[in-house]
């Protein structure tokens, strides 16, 4: 479904992503784990068209993305749940969800999808007229996910969805990710919480200073001694 080949990304003189190749197949949950500054966010931004690569190829269902406008990428069925949620704080919950559907033309279906988001997240329905900036951290994360779902994605790229949440809420968010996947949405998940990210993923990649250093079956990585030492606090 998504293929990234020999991706290189720079910020001026900083070479943030080196020759990264990865693949996400239809129906999978794939996790990309790594420490602070490893380049995880940069990779997601480059896939979703927010940042242009220096070199390499990004293919989504065979279509090349690296020169495509971000809104067209959304229209192809790819949505991004950004790091730190980045909801529109001064807008209501309902307006935020509406923004998620901005690239769509099928307005009748949009209304149905809004109903589905409110059914999945009853808390958002209760708070639809509340300013998003006044939601709790967990509610904001649900709103960020709901907003992404409003573009009707086939693949969801999630950047650190567990960040800043209490252990109980982290569990809830990972459960939601699994449910979304079971409903047919393919997931590329970027996380510092390697244990949770590996426990729900089919496959995973380990990123260190802009390079993929390990990849494989998530269960195998979870029991790998090197991964345990470096990322699982063992
Ligand atoms: P974190 O988990 O802390 O968000 P990350 O793995 O997502 O980290 P990135 O945010 O992709 O890492 O950063 C990768 C590298 O690129 C870092 O060295 C960072 O300082 C650098 N970088 C990121 N954005 C910019 C920018 N806009 N200008 C210059 N350097 C940047």
Residue where a domain terminates, one of 113, 134, 151: 151
208 HSE (CA, 13 A, CB side):
7
Q: Which domain holds residue 141?
A: 87-151
Nearest to 96 by CA among 153, 150, 169: 150
Evaluate whether residue 108 is within a structural domain. yes
Evaluate whether residue 44 is within a structural domain. yes
Strand 155-159 to strand 78-81: parallel, antiparallel, or no bridges (unpaired)? parallel
- Whether residues 217 and 165 fall in one domain: yes
State whether the beta carbon of 51 lies less than 6 angstroms from ligand 1: no
Evaluate whether residue 35 is within a structural domain. yes
- Whether residues 10 and 71 fall in one domain: yes
**Number of folded domains that form the chain:** 2
pLDDT per position in the chain (234 positions), as tens?
999 999 999 999 999 999 999 999 999 999 999 988 899 999 999 999 999 999 999 999 999 998 899 889 999 999 999 987 889 999 999 999 999 998 888 888 999 999 999 999 999 999 999 999 999 999 999 999 999 999 999 999 999 999 888 888 899 999 999 999 999 999 999 998 999 999 999 999 999 999 999 999 999 999 998 888 888 875
β-bridge mates for residue 155, sequence order: 78, 186
Q: 213 alpha carbon to ligand 1 midpoint, in Å?
A: 18
> In this structure, are residues 159 and 80 in contact, taking their beta carbons and an 8 Å threshold?
yes
- Whether residues 122 and 158 fall in one domain: no
Q: 127 alpha carbon to ligand 1 midpoint, in Å?
A: 34
Residue where a domain terminates, one of 151, 170, 191: 151
Evaluate whether residue 82 is within a structural domain. no
State whether the beta carbon of 152 lies less than 6 angstroms from ligand 1: no
Alpha helices in the chain (DSSP H): 40-47, 70-76, 93-100, 107-120, 122-126, 137-149, 167-182, 194-200, 218-222, 225-231
| CATH assignment of the domain containing 180 | 3.40.50.300
- Whether residues 134 and 197 fall in one domain: no
**C-alpha distances out from residue 18 to 22, 30, 52, Å:** 12, 19, 14
User: Tokens in use for 162?
Assistant: 């567990």
State whether the beta carbon of 39 lies less than 6 angstroms from ligand 1: yes
10, 33, 42, best to mutate for ligand 1 pocket (most atoms within 8 Å of CB): 42
Model pTM score: 0.92
- Whether residues 167 and 223 fall in one domain: yes
Torsion 134-140-144-147 (CA) sign: negative
Residue where a domain terminates, one of 117, 132, 151: 151
Atom 25 of ligand 1, nearest CA residue: 11
- Whether residues 127 and 164 fall in one domain: no
β-bridge mates for residue 11, sequence order: 14
- Whether residues 207 and 112 fall in one domain: no
Q: 129 alpha carbon to ligand 1 midpoint, in Å?
A: 35
């Amino acid at each position: 479904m998504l293929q990234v080949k020999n991706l290189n990304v720079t910020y001026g003189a900083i070479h943030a992503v080196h020759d990264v190749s990865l693949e996400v197949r239809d129906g999978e949950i794939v996790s990309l784990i790594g420490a602070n500054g490893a380049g995880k966010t940069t990779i997601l931004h480059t896939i979703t068209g927010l940042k242009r690569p220096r070199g390499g190829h990004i293919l989504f269902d065979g279509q090349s993305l690296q020169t495509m406008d971000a809104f067209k990428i959304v229209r192809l069925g790819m949505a991004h749940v950004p790091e730190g949620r980045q909801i529109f704080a001064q807008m209501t919950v309902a307006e935020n969800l509406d923004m998620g559907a901005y690239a769509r033309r099928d307005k009748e279906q949009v209304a149905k999808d809004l109903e589905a988001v409110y059914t999945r997240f009853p808390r958002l329905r209760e708070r639809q007229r509340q300013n998003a900036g006044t939601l709790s951290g967990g509610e904001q994360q649900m709103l960020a996910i709901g907003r992404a779902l409003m573009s009707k994605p086939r693949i969801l790229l999630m950047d650190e969805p567990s960040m800043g949440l209490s252990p109980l809420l982290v569990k809830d968010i990972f459960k939601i990710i699994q449910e979304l996947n079971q409903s047919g949405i393919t997931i590329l998940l970027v996380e510092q919480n390697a244990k949770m990210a590996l426990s729900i993923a089919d496959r995973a990649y380990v990123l260190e200073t802009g390079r993929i250093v390990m990849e494989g079956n998530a269960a195998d990585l979870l029991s790998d001694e090197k991964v345990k030492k470096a990322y699982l606090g063992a």
